[in-house]
Amino acid sequence: MIESAKSQSNFPLETSIPQASLESILCTEELQRRRSRPPDFEKENRALVALVSTLADSPGIILQTLAETILEITESDSAGLSLLTRNDDGKRFYWPAIAGMWNPHVGGGTPRNFGPCGDVLDRNCTLLFTHFERRYPYLIPVMPPAEECLLVPFYVGGKAVGTIWAIMHSDRHKFDAEDERVMGSLGQFASSAYQAVASIDDLKFQVAEREKAETELRKLTDGLETKVLVRTEELEQRNSQLAEARARLAEEKLALERSEAFLAEAQHLSSTGSFCWRPSTGEIRWSEQLYRIFEIEQGVPVTLELVGSRIHPEDISILNDMNERTRAAVSDFEYDYRLLMPDHSVKHVHALAHGSRDAGGQLEYIGAVQDVTQRRASEAGLATARTDLAHVTRVMSLSTLTASIAHEVSQPLSGMVTNASTCLRMLSSDPPNVEGARETARRTIRDGNRASDVITRLRALFGKEDAAIEVIDLNEAVREVIALSLSELQSNRVILRRQLDGDLPPVAGDRVQLQQVVLNLLRNASDAMNTVDDRPRELLVTTERDEGDRARLSVKDAGVGLDPEAMGQLFEAFYTTKNDGMGIGLSVCRSIIEKHRGLIWATQNDGPGATFSFSIPCRTDTKVQ
Amino acid sequence: MESRQARIAVERPLVAVVDDDESVRESLPDLLREFGFAARAFSSAEEFLASDSIAEARCLILDIAMPGMNGLDLQRELKLRGQKIPIIFITAQKNEVVRALVFEQGAAEFLFKPFSDMALLDALNKALRVT
């Protein structure tokens, strides 16, 4: 006893009061006894909608917004959140957000095992405290004192992570069963908000890491390309000068070795290997790093068969495609494909090569292969998070939009119906009240115009009516769209080819709208090949001159093709074959193309798949409406 | 002429309309007068509470979503004051939760905007029978 009194002697007054029991500071069952106010669902809905929009628009302030919402809905004097600390195994609760009179105490907290929040988690239910400082004297300095405090636990994945709470500092107003119910539903929201804040923090960290890694990689790759070029040039020069420069050979050799060591180091750091390939002789030379990427023992002679044995079976068509290109003596190629390792792990690589003629006129390719497995993985994670977020935002704005349209249009409609009824009654009375009928008919017209104004405003908000006409190089517009959708196409393992007519005359139109059409066609084509696994997912984009001084763009896929019965409905609004489609894409495409005085159509390919094309007038005779 | 109209207005049962939408405040009283009622319109719950119509009105047609005190608040306030005036709620928002709530609090009828003249007349007959 003496020991404990001594150890607490730094609390001068409070320690002399015997510590109150937990039961004596609890009054939870009072909630049911008190006269409860009726629920205000409208206020509650409004508050929840505001919380959800805050979560979507500015998640950084969601916890403070939540505290303010609790304060407002429960009409309490202070309200806030307590979260278990993450860095010391949850030994403490801290207060990240407080609204109302206790707001200056943000950042404070209580111990996990000796405090009201801990009691709530231990009992795993909502608790109502009165003057908890009688049991927990460290709360005495936190002013003003809490007459009553309602605490609700919340959980993430079944694990308690914190509490939300509301405090009355005077007895002018007491908590009741309705407060308990509302706090329960806010507790569930607190759980989602906590998760969202945590995952946004993670996402930010991931994005920053990825950008850092990419910048470094880019620096290395840029340096590497320059080095490859410089070195090639050096080698050629040296070859021709070899006879005269024999004396300097040793010195040169040393420099070369140093440069090679440097190159090998750079290749290692950037996970990039280089190769040299002469299709005429079949000779292939690899850098050390490329052997490492392919996990083949250094020095083993490289053949196309050996390369093929490592390429993922679903991507093997790339090798055939590459062979065809070299036969046609195409100067550059670039591929993304996967490697299947003996231990069944999968690597993603990015390969590019540049072809040139050597001194003997033989075609020779020099290229680099980069292991992008890690980058792919982080990109995929990022894309998923982005899609989830976009979906939440879209669904939310749709429902908000629907409610606001219904409300805005119903008001004037209501006036119209009432006025028209009154008008009829005035006309059929004996004698007819013509002056009154005239006045109500006038109001009916005015309300009709009001309803129509509402619709016009909405249309102006959600669909741009006026096209911005400019002169466009269709090829350039297509290239921009391809650049934008390339990573999406690659992740669907689509092999994209383009045949763009370099002599295509310019067209006049709205660049963004036409690009939306191209994007839509590319997406549709890619989606149509989602289930194709027995043939390459090839996509061909073509631009060409069409008869009658028009430009034509076609997108050809090797997908599932068209249902002959559905051909007539393809471009109608809400027709879709996709499970997740809105069916609005092709009908919008058609209206855009028609606005450009063009045509859009679809044909079944001779082989598998379908081709979607549009044709619009060239600029020479064009004035778009 | 003036005194005859005033006399009739006193004899006819008064229906009060509370709605923040101007087109409702203009159109509904005319229709109510065609039905044979006297009618007065108010743009807010506060305005109605401050008027002397509160004792006189036989029925109240009340919008739910209004700035300031909303329809539900007014219903509660009238109850607290011991006013048993029957209330017909009108709203443009199809919210079944709110609908259930106002009936629980003793509403006579509930109409979604826009409503027909016959629906309104039925509602008025029902509301006035209740008293």
Do residues A567 and A539 lie in contact, with contact meaning Cβ atoms separated by under 8 Å?
Answer: no
Predicted pLDDT at A8: 39
- Alpha-carbon distance of A43 to A40, in angstroms, equals 6
- Alpha-carbon distance of A455 to A460, in angstroms, equals 9
Facing residue for A41 by CB, picked from B76, B94, B101: B101
Do residues A41 and B98 lie in contact, with contact meaning Cβ atoms separated by under 8 Å?
Answer: yes
E strand segments, A177-321: 272-278, 283-286
- Asked if pLDDT for residue A517 goes beyond 90, the answer is no
Mean pLDDT, residues A116-131 taken together: 89
Mean pLDDT, residues A121-149 taken together: 88
Q: Which of the pair, A145 or A212, is modelled with greater confidence?
A: A145
> Any chain B CB within 8 A of the CB of A432?
no
B contact test, residue of A40, A414, A442 with most B CBs within 10 A: A414
A contact test, residue of B27, B66, B121 with most A CBs within 10 A: B27
Paired tokens of B46: 């506060």
Set of chain B residues whose Cβ sits within 8 Å of the Cβ of A450: 23
User: Percent of chain A at pLDDT above 70?
Assistant: 85
Predicted pLDDT at A60: 74
Residue A212's contacts (CB-CB under 8 Å, 6 or more residues apart) are none
Apex A467 CA angle, A466 and A472, nearest 5: 165
Instruction: Output helix, strand, coil percentages for chain A, rounded to the nearest 5.
Output: 50, 20, 25
Predicted pLDDT at A584: 45
The amino acid that residue A111 corresponds to is: P
Predicted pLDDT at A430: 87
Paired tokens of A416: 């119209």
pTM for the structure as a whole: 0.33
pLDDT in tens, B31-82: 999 999 999 999 999 999 999 899 899 999 999 888 778 898 999 999 999 8
pLDDT in tens, A255-299: 777 777 777 777 777 788 889 888 888 889 998 889 999 999 988
Mean pLDDT, residues A147-171 taken together: 88
Q: What's the N-to-C CA distance of chain A in angstroms? A: 95
- Alpha-carbon distance of A294 to A310, in angstroms, equals 7
- Categorize the per-residue pLDDT at A555 as very low, low, confident or very high, splitting at 50, 70 and 90: very high
CB contact under 8 A, A410 and B114: yes
Q: What are residue A340's DSSP bridge partners?
A: A346
Mean pLDDT, residues A558-582 taken together: 65
Find the closest chain A residue to B111 by CA distance.
A414
Residue A273's contacts (CB-CB under 8 Å, 6 or more residues apart) are A267, A286, A287, A288, A289, A290, A291, A292, A293, A294, A368, A369, A370
Closest Cα of chain A to B56: distance in Å?
A: 24
Q: What are residue A276's DSSP bridge partners?
A: A285, A366
pLDDT in tens, B99-115: 888 888 889 999 988 89
Predicted pLDDT at A173: 83
- Asked if pLDDT for residue A472 goes beyond 50, the answer is yes
- Alpha-carbon distance of A1 to A315, in angstroms, equals 79
Mean pLDDT, residues A485-502 taken together: 85
Exposure b/e, A132-148, CB count within 10 A at least 16 = b? bbbbbbebeebeeebbb
Q: Are strands A538-546 and A495-500 parallel, antiparallel or unpaired?
A: parallel
Q: Which of the pair, A407 or A437, is modelled with greater confidence?
A: A437
How high is the mean pLDDT of chain A?
80
Torsion of CA A45, A47, A48, A53, to 10 degrees: 120
Strand ordering across the sheet containing A92-100: A109-111, A92-100, A78-84, A159-168, A148-156, A127-130
- Alpha-carbon distance of A441 to A455, in angstroms, equals 21
- Asked if pLDDT for residue A9 goes beyond 60, the answer is no
A contact test, residue of B17, B21, B22, B34 with most A CBs within 10 A: B34
Region of poorest pLDDT, from A86-90, A146-150, A557-561, A604-608: A86-90
pLDDT in tens, A42-84: 888 888 888 877 877 777 788 888 899 899 888 899 999 998 8
- Asked if pLDDT for residue A323 goes beyond 90, the answer is no
Tell me, letter by letter, the H, E, C secondary structure of A174-199: CCCHHHHHHHHHHHHHHHHHHHHHHH
CB contact under 8 A, B26 and A415: yes
- A552 C-beta neighbours (distance < 10 Å), count: 19
Q: Which of the pair, B3 or A8, is modelled with greater confidence?
A: B3
Facing residue for A422 by CB, picked from B24, B30, B70: B30
Mean pLDDT, residues A413-428 taken together: 91
Local structure of A220: helix, strand or coil: helix
- Asked if pLDDT for residue A15 goes beyond 60, the answer is no
Predicted pLDDT at A396: 42
- Categorize the per-residue pLDDT at A332 as very low, low, confident or very high, splitting at 50, 70 and 90: confident
pLDDT in tens, A171-193: 888 898 888 888 888 888 888 77
Q: Which of the pair, B98 or A398, is modelled with greater confidence?
A: B98
Tell me, letter by letter, the H, E, C secondary structure of A68-105: HHHHHHHCCCEEEEEEECCCCCCCEEEEEEEEECCHHH
- Asked if pLDDT for residue A406 goes beyond 80, the answer is no
- Categorize the per-residue pLDDT at A405 as very low, low, confident or very high, splitting at 50, 70 and 90: low
The amino acid that residue A359 corresponds to is: A
Mean pLDDT, residues A211-233 taken together: 78
Predicted pLDDT at A59: 72
Closest Cα of chain A to B33: distance in Å?
A: 9
Burial status of residue A291 (CB atoms within 10 A of its CB: 0-12, 13-18, 19 or more): middle
Residue B129: left if φ>0, alpha if ψ -120 to 50, beta else—which one?
Answer: alpha
Segment A19-22 long-range contacts (CB within 8 Å, at least 24 positions apart): A19/A135, A19/A137, A20/A134, A20/A135, A21/A135, A22/A119, A22/A135
Angle between helices A41-57 and A177-241 (to 10 degrees): 10
Exposure b/e, A482-511, CB count within 10 A at least 16 = b? beebeeebbeebbbbeeebeeebebbbbbb
